[in-house]
Structure 1
């Protein structure tokens, strides 16, 4: 390198921007767990994360987009979509991970927040985007199964996932019955029997 050539800028992977994002999302999830979604504010999240409120608005633009990003990040990390090579083991693993996530304070808070209606159209839109994103991700399990010939081509992806997940969410939220260790597998078999019984 000659004296005339400037030294190249070396950017560290996971630099300040990544640290700020991680801190803000962690603060948002903490506030969601402790305060609930209706009391979550950008100012409160910024204070917890140790950043300026303007930093949060500059990156996310609105409280609703921040909430959506926090929920998606938390659920993606807490409920990954498995790929075992077979629909039964995929669905059972997904249901088992969901049950474990719902047993955590974060999982319960997300599930409770998801049941709340909202008069705020922006927040309602954020929730819709959250559920659609989760459906699209988990729906790959059904899509792969159709491609492998394990399920009929006209399988209703949303209905299949709702049938699998709703009993787990109901038990976690209402608390009237525990989630037995074998319930994810039992639900998986019931869902698959119903889907395959149409062929």
Structure 2
């Protein structure tokens, strides 16, 4: 069913900045957000998701935003904070909660997010380690869970010493993750 409506936005430049897009892209981005919102109301009206606690509503809202707005990718904590007007700690908590509550529905989103991270990894020596820059501790935990599932003797993903959001993955762990998720590994290119 196609539904259309019009609305007036008081300050489109500010809204585009909050969402993280250009003003020219605002309509397209808002359509995705409206899809998530509309589906939230439909679920509530039909009684499939009638929540009593505010945190449950926010978590379900985030789940729907991942599905409709973030294109099936797990967002970082800053993106959640920007949209929900929450602290980084609160955003991390929402994300941790929905990854647990909606683990089966989010399995492909988590795997797709990890695939993108692995395909954007950097390597500066043939022997490794690979580095990834990521502001999402929940996804780091998911990477380490995957490593445990693959082979509990593999080295975990760990924060690079002295960095804020850069992590290191040993070559053996990286290659096993790539194999498990059908990702073409980033190759070392000698400079």
TM range (shorter): 0.3 to 0.5
**Greater share of strand residues, 1 or 2?**
2
TM normalised by structure 2 equals: 0.33
Q: Which has the larger radius of gyration?
A: 1
TM-score, length of structure 1 as denominator length: 0.32
Higher relative contact order (Cα pairs below 8 Å, separated by 6+ residues): 1
